[in-house]
Structure 1
Amino acid sequence: MVLSQRNIVNKKNWDEIVAKHEAGEFVEGVGKEAVKGGLLADVMGIRTFIPASQLSMRYVEKITEFVGQGMKLKIIEVDKAKKRIVASRKAVLIADEAEKKQAVWDTLKEKEGQVVEGTVRRLADFGAFVDIGGVDGMVHISELSWSRIKTPSEVCKVGDSMEVYVISFDAEKRKISLGVKDRGVNPWEDFMSKYRVGDVATVRIVKLMTFGAFAEVVPGVDGLIHISQIADRRIEKPGDVLSEGQEVEAEIIAVDEEKKKISLSIRALLAPAAQDESETEAE
């Protein structure tokens, strides 16, 4: 009588598991025993096999860690003849992750232009990929800093928390453009409030060209030191005197407010010294 009752319960549970499998619904289970190739779990009193590859989204080194652990599962195989059930925990994790990602996409329109907290997941030559709650957006290298940088690693590293804002997104292509630079800051206005023609500034050489060198005066604003303004003597190329990253003193000799262009001179600061030397020698 007891055996018959147990068989009735088992058949009822078996039928329910089969129904959930056919409906694509998840079931609850508990890990019972680590076996060769995977884990045996109890699902509604029915022994269920979970292959090691289906336990997690990552490689599982110790299957025993799942023994005694409750878990949500998806039935991926039912063999009625052999009374064998195979389930996957990985499929549930993938579905949960997809749901979280979709939730982020659904709220992106509201977040456009807003600042959100993110985590740097990967760096590339052209920018940084930042996780903003389950989906990755890309911060182009030009959006990482007002200063001119050569690689994203100059301002961030994998694992860094970062405040970013959503510039734009394409839900169809699943692409998100993010920014870091404070849009409330206007670098040109910052420069104009600090400097005038004739002022001397400590500038950083950011790029060498055949005709001169570009130097950062304030973050986001570069000026040009023409090759004729680099030294008090004739030079063949800017690299003969300057190197990228070097800090030098330069005089602001011209400002074009309309075109937002600045001309700088190192030579202007060297000329008086050269003149004094000439006068001393003459005496």
Structure 2
Amino acid sequence: MADVPASEARRAFLRTLEKGQVRRGTVSSVSDVDALVDLGGFDGLLRTPEVSWQRREVPLGQVLRVGQDVTVTVLDVDADRDWLTVSLKSLRDDPFREFARTHLGHVVPGRVTKVASIGVFVRVHDHVEGLLPASELPEREDDDQHPAVGDVLVVEIADINLDRRRVKLALRDGG
């Protein structure tokens, strides 16, 4: 390949890759919003949302480090544009799907994480929050009786939308 221009060699390497393919690579760069993974001749872009199923609350540099060996799934390849995106999380089971399979209809305690005009958001499982709509809340005479952040409510997992990754809750006795 010494006679082949670098850009042509890169395109040739990209043509060997396919969407969905699993490859080993090495983290070559990390920023706050993404990382690059060297797949042996070409860096694939690893965006923050593709690192983990959990919401990222710490800088990416605390999760990945330059030189770290990783296994990724190829998400998109565009040899004409010299473009490659990869994913770490696609190789792991989606915890939201597991939650949906096992929790629909269950009555559970949950902690209020946010109060909004549309209702209250309640953490019902590790990294899973649901919305208890305002229409589910009993009418109260003063705001001191409405749920506040930190309160524990007893709720039913009433509906789960896998496509939108949303959980609808219903208030139950004890809440």
For residues 45 and 89 of structure 2, what CA distance do their matches in structure 1 show?
A: 13
Matched, 1:251 2:155: yes
For residues 216 and 149 of structure 1, what CA distance do their matches in structure 2 show?
A: 19
Matched, 1:233 2:167: no
Partner of 1:5: none
- State the SS of the aligned residue for 1:182: helix
**Cα drift, residue 164 of structure 1:** 0.8
Residues 216 and 156 of structure 1: is their aligned pair in 2 closer, same or farther, counting only changes over 3 Å? Answer: farther
The equivalent position to 2:16 in structure 1, one of 110, 130, 141, is 110
Q: Which has the higher helix share?
A: 1
CA radius of gyration, larger in: 1
Question: For 1:45-68, what per-residue CA distance to the aligned partner results, in whole angstroms no more than 9, with x for missing partners?
Answer: xxxxxxxxxxxxxxxxxxxxxxxx
The equivalent position to 2:88 in structure 1, one of 172, 177, 180, is 180
> Greater RCO between the two (CA within 8 Å, min separation 6)?
2
Residues 167 and 257 of structure 1: is their aligned pair in 2 closer, same or farther, counting only changes over 3 Å? Answer: closer
Which sits farther off after the overlay, 154-163 or 126-135?
154-163
**Cα drift, residue 180 of structure 1:** 1.3
Per the normalisation by structure 2, the TM-score is: 0.64
- State the SS of the aligned residue for 2:16: helix
Per the normalisation by structure 1, the TM-score is: 0.44
Residues 162 and 188 of structure 1: is their aligned pair in 2 closer, same or farther, counting only changes over 3 Å? Answer: same
For residues 31 and 173 of structure 2, what CA distance do their matches in structure 1 show?
A: 40
The 5 A counterparts of 1:134-173 are 134-150=41-57, 151-153=59-61, 155-173=63-81
- State the SS of the aligned residue for 1:111: coil
Residues 124 and 252 of structure 1: is their aligned pair in 2 closer, same or farther, counting only changes over 3 Å? Answer: farther
For residues 122 and 214 of structure 1, what CA distance do their matches in structure 2 show?
A: 37
Which sits farther off after the overlay, 136-145 or 167-176?
167-176
Count residues in correspondence: 161
Which sits farther off after the overlay, 173-182 or 145-154?
145-154
For residues 40 and 67 of structure 2, what CA distance do their matches in structure 1 show?
A: 14
**Cα drift, residue 183 of structure 1:** 5.7
Q: Which runs of 5+ in 1 are unaligned?
A: 1-94, 243-247, 272-283
Q: Which runs of 5+ in 2 are unaligned?
A: 138-143
Residues 241 and 184 of structure 1: is their aligned pair in 2 closer, same or farther, counting only changes over 3 Å? Answer: closer
Partner of 1:194: 102
**Cα drift, residue 214 of structure 1:** 6.4
Question: For 1:46-105, what per-residue CA distance to the aligned partner results, in whole angstroms no more than 9, with x for missing partners?
Answer: xxxxxxxxxxxxxxxxxxxxxxxxxxxxxxxxxxxxxxxxxxxxxxxxx79x75x75454
Q: Percent identity?
A: 26
For residues 134 and 175 of structure 1, what CA distance do their matches in structure 2 show?
A: 13
